[in-house]
Each structure stands twice: as structure tokens, then as C-alpha cells.
Structure 1
Amino acid sequence: MQDQNSPLRPSVRSNPAVKHVTVSGPAHRQVGVESARLGLTRTEYADAAIRYFAERGLNPVEARAREGQLIMAEIKRLGDRVFSYLQEQERGLLLEMVRSQLRQQAVQEQALRVVENLLAPEGGEALQRIQQKNRARIAEAVAAGLAALDIKALSKPRKSGN
């Protein structure tokens, strides 16, 4: 397959194990056209083509079908990785939202305590009953909200690199 008119490349010239392969006339012409287009010798082009099929475990006669399957498998693998990454980001985002809500509630409770202290002399026992009812309702709402969320799933340790 060595082109008689093209100069030998050093890798081919220095390799005494160069062998010859017989190919059909149309395939030989196609090798000549493609190798010239790419600026390669016919030997380099044929070597690269053979390595391509061998390294990927492809049958050159059925390459299109198998290569399509390999591409689809790679797309699925990448899709799974993206989905996993998005789930991890969502977990972190939801956990931060829960933390923010809890901080906000703590601030509101502190503000209510200040108001209570200011109004306590005027309201006395009635204010304390209202406050107890409100605390109980808030505690129930928080407990229900946290029960609805799977906190253990949200607080999974993050994988490094994400």
C-alpha cells in the first residue's frame, strides 16, 4: 500500500517490519485520495484506519451499526452523570432553603419575644396564652414541614469534585 511516488516518512523508513496488504482497486484509489487530502502517506493512512477499528473493537464491515451503539452508550453515560450532578446540586439547594427558612423563623420568634416583652405589662395572662398557642402551632408546622422532607437524604455528604 506504500505510495511509490510519495517520500517515506521516518517512522516507516526506520521500521523494518513494514508488511504489505492487498486491497481492491476502488479501495486503493480511495486510500490514495483520502491520504493525499490529509497529507499522509498511504501506509500512515492504512495504519491509522486499522488501529482505529482494532482499538475500538469494531468490525469495519459493520462499523456503522456498532459505532452508533457505542455513541448512544456514551451519550447515556454522560446523561446519567449530568442527572446525578443536578440531583446533587438540587440537594444542596434544598438544604440551603430549609436552613434559610429555619433562620427566618428564629428571627421572627425573636422579634415576637421583643414585642411580647413590650406588651407583657398590659396583656399579662392573655398574652401568655396566645403566645403558647402560637408556639405550639409553629412547632407543629415546623415538625410537619421537616417530616415532609427527608432530611437524611438532603444532608448526604457531598462527593468531592462537585
Structure 2
Amino acid sequence: MQELPQNPPPQPAQSSAVKHLTVSGPAHRLVGAEAARLGITRTEYADAAIRYFAERGLNPVESQAREGQLIMAEVKRLGDRVFAYLQEQERGILLEMLRFQLRQQAVQDQTLRVVENLLAPEGGEALRKIQQKNQTRIAEAVAAGLAALDIKALKKAR
């Protein structure tokens, strides 16, 4: 058997021949400006841009739309993360407020039991009067608190 010399795969010919391509006026100005900024010729810039899209199998017309979609997707993803963070913070704050409210309710219930035990020998009438006064004071305090919240909400809305 005779060994045949193996030839390497054909390489694209490095031709110095220049071909002409028609581009729009605005595109021509952009090529000139960018090439000047980068310190290369227009031909080098155009060659590199064409190779970039060709090697990646990209359609340059659709790539701009795709970039916008990618940016919008990233903005949405970041917005979702911020919203999730805010929800977690809100849950933490609300949980702490709930704990405080439950603690206050327990203290209030215990205080009422002590008062009931102290006033029980005197009869239920004194206890009813105290409860009526307390209900009135509670209603006034709640109304004042809600009014203060409404005022703060109105100031923030402006």
C-alpha cells in the first residue's frame, strides 16, 4: 500500500481584491465615524462587522429587536426581584406588627381579668360603668388614629 499525502482542508483565500458594497447614507456616515474613532479603515470596520454577524449566524436586522427583547426581559426579571424583596420586607414588618398586637391583646386581657377580680365583690354595675368608659375612650382613640393616618396619606398623595 502506498501512502497518499493528505492535504489540509482548503482555507479561504486571502484576497486583497476589494469588492464594493452599497450602503445607505446614514450607515456610511456611521461606518466612517466609528472607523475613525477606532483608528481603523472603513473596509476593516465593515469586514469585522460582517464577519461578526456571519460567524455567529445572526441576522443583523433582527438582532436589534432581539436585544430590545433581552433588555426588556432583564428589566422584568430585576423588577420581579425587587418586588419579591419588598414583599419579604412587608411580611417581616407585618409579622412584627402582628406580634406586637397579640402581645398588647394578651396584656389587655390579663389586665381586664385583674380588674374584674378586684371589682367582683362590689358588683357588676361598677364594672359595666368602667367598660362603657373604656369603650368610649377606645372608640375616640381609634377615630383619632384613623384621622391621623388619613392626614398622612393625603399629604403623601400630593
TM-score category of the 2 structures, normalised to the smaller one:
0.3 to 0.5
Could you say which structure has the greater relative contact order, defined with CA pairs below 8 angstroms and 6 or more residues apart?
1
TM-score by length of 1: 0.46
**Which protein has the larger Cα radius of gyration, Structure 1 or Structure 2?**
2
